Amino acid sequence: MTPASLTLSHYQAASLLKARRSGAGQAQASPDLGLTTVSAALDRAGVVFPGFDPLPWDQVEAIREAENNCFSVEAGEARKIAAFSELTNRVYSLYPTASAPTMLISGIPMHRIKGSDPHRDTLAKVAALKPLAGRVLDTATGLGYTAIQAARTAEEVVTIELDPTALEIARLNPWSRELFGEPRITQLIGDSFDVVEAFEDGSFDRILHDPPTMVLAGHLYGQDFYEELYRVLRTGGRLFHYIGDPDSRQGSSQTRGVVKRLRAAGFTRIWPKPRAFGVVAQK
């Protein structure tokens, strides 16, 4: 199946340039940041992916040189996937990895990219809440990876995104497609701190709380917000809270503070999930 758009990074560009240097007339390459692989034709002018306009070699070279960006290609022209948000006064961009890309917010990655990758990072977070079923709240949509993964087993996933600009980036990310096509995912726009107040008591079986760093969203680590999460979680339900590397000085300190505030909010059973860089709390 041909993807709706051609999306490339330096990983794909490097592979294409290597094939060109070998004198090959075709190359196995991915048109969607590694999700699928097709046979692309190589000639003196450039690369031709099935179903797309030719991509000149100078554009391929430019993509290869830009190791911190992903590119959307239209009419043979590559454009960086990035946008400025007037709402938050921040720059959002799609950052490539050898697996799924992550999103940078003002240069800060929203997934683990050292010692892991965004896909494995997501799987670890979701696995921390197994069995993941019923109604799930995802407090920070981002690229939608946790919402997508949770929807594979949950009856419904309600996911909240503060900034529509983040969803603009997600729409250009092949790895985020299911976020916009999976009927079990309900998207809400707003600050989770405010949106959660409208939910009824005990309305969720699981909560995936994977907020941006405290620098970007400190209020989502606060006592008041934890009390709201406790309220909307059903008795016996579980919350996963991503915090950061528990072995680092900052991560260790933040974890202690988070656990203290979760206990004050009413959670009586809290245990670490070091592989997922967070904790699970049960109501």
Label residue 204 by pLDDT band (50, 70, 90). very high
The pLDDT mean for the chain works out to 95
Across the range 94-109, mean pLDDT stands at: 95
Sign of CA dihedral 266, 238, 170, 161: negative
Instruction: Please state the φ and ψ torsions of residue 38, each to the nearest 5 degrees.
Output: -135, 170
pTM across the whole model: 0.94
Taking the C-alpha atoms of residue 4 and residue 40, their distance in angstroms, rounded to an integer, is: 16
Q: How far apart are CA 261 and CA 30, in angstroms?
A: 45
Nearest CA to 237 out of 256, 209, 210 is that of: 209
pLDDT at 100 over 70: yes
Q: Which two tokens stand for residue 124?
A: 């670890």
The Cα–Cα gap between 78 and 76 comes to 7
The mean per-residue pLDDT over the stretch 255-278 comes to: 95
- Cα separation of 9 and 93, whole Å? 13
Angstrom CA distances, 2 to 16, 30, 121, 178, 196, stand at 18, 11, 28, 16, 39
pLDDT in tens, 155-198: 999 999 999 999 999 999 999 999 999 999 999 999 999 999 99
User: 219 and 225 in contact (C-beta within 8 Å)?
Assistant: yes
Tens digit of each residue's pLDDT (9 = 90 or more) over 53-68: 999 999 999 999 999 9
All structural domains of the chain, each given as residue ranges with its CATH number in brackets, are 6-79 (no CATH), 117-282 (3.40.50.150)
* SS3 call for 79: strand
Check residue 124 and give its pLDDT: 95
Token pair 């430019």: residue? 62
pLDDT of residue 249: 81
Q: Tens digits of per-residue pLDDT, 65-84? A: 999 999 999 999 999 999 99
Residue 169 is encoded by which pair of tokens?
A: 């980036």
Of the pLDDT bands very low, low, confident and very high (cuts 50, 70, 90), residue 4 is confident
At a CB cut-off of 8 Å and minimum separation 6, what does 193 contact?
Answer: 219, 220, 224, 225, 228
Report residue 91 CA to chain centroid gap.
16
Question: What is the structure's pLDDT at 164?
Answer: 97
Closest to 70 measured CA to CA, from 41, 124, 38, 30: 30
